[in-house]
Structure 1
């Protein structure tokens, strides 16, 4: 599932191509009520966590959640016939966008958009984010920090990659309960997520390895993985830790794979 930086990257792209223009919106597949926004002014695009919002004005915001299989394709004019199951097509002055396979694609009222924002935790990529709201939930919870970081009502936009990597970068064992963290550590982790996720928006991939640990500095082979980017522990089960050489451990937690270094992130 795409992590938050991907949705913010899409929002930035769609703002650049469509904001301030009247667009044509259709649903070649027929499973989206495109008539509610077709021919209207595309005001702006924004993201909150893993949710993308195309805002058309009063009581008309298209909400997209890509889920596991959703994806956008972006093309310049001329517009061609739809290929495959296109849930939503947006056609602007110079480009057009097709959406396929999302978990959600729906038109929301302003009240429904407000309710969506209210049930999501603060997003490190949003300027209006309030990290203390997440800290209030983390600090009072017996759940592990690994579970809490993936709970979108606690913190929006963090997925499995950012979770594994921020825990490693701060030497925190994933099974430590939320109430076992101190505020200073949480503040450091939040700021680190802001920096890492902003970099993800900029380059379109997740890189979490510090400059001194990159392949060109250490002489190790570059990472080869379909997810791309240089990481410390994510999907590196059994491989040596880039810092201490201990084999990276893996387990399943709350239905998701978990990765950590037993030496660099010891149990307390």
Structure 2
């Protein structure tokens, strides 16, 4: 075939690649396939009688119970109480954990003074602590908030300390060669370098905060989601129990999504 004929042949149209946004939308939808399949299987097993009502309520019954709890105001009230406890405990634990990590990370003397007791305290079991806190503080809000604060403090402390200690020495040497003061090194090198690890610790801390709340509210509470679950257990109301657990899960996912959004904004400089 001649070169002229080849030159006159129109090139086949190139297929435009699918946009990244379209692929991400379909990837998001794919992630819902397995949860929906599990819920359908759960419903089928309940309808077939394989799973009894006293063992686990069917999804349709759980949804109906959730609607009833929303309409009578119970679910909203108990959820708000639990949110307040987590917010206060996370604030206190976050401030303490970050403060201790900064002092220990920036000073060898601070690390020698702070790190040993922190390492000992973080291994204490929550179930043992709640009994001690009740003895000290009674049955009010103090033991619950304190338990949540401890759950938040330690992961944030460990990750922030690791982030500060993991700063590349070459970056610090470069900062010194540019004649940056110690305060400028902390502000422009150490804190930005430790931020990714700190945000990882924050995600872990908020997850543990909800676990700590479950422990606190199911043992010593007269309000909140844990109290609602514990009260339902006495009457074998598995539908109410599942509703409470689902709200715990959604709240945990919600707080994690908020931190991931902050992470994308704060670490936009990363590839």
- The reply to whether TM is greater than 0.5 is no
Relative contact order: is structure 1 or structure 2 higher (C-alpha 8 Å, sep ≥ 6)?
2
Q: TM-score, with normalisation over the residues of structure 1?
A: 0.20
Query: Between Structure 1 and Structure 2, which shows a larger proportion of strand residues?
Result: 1
Structure that is richer in helix per residue? 2
User: Which structure is larger by alpha-carbon Rg, 1 or 2?
Assistant: 2
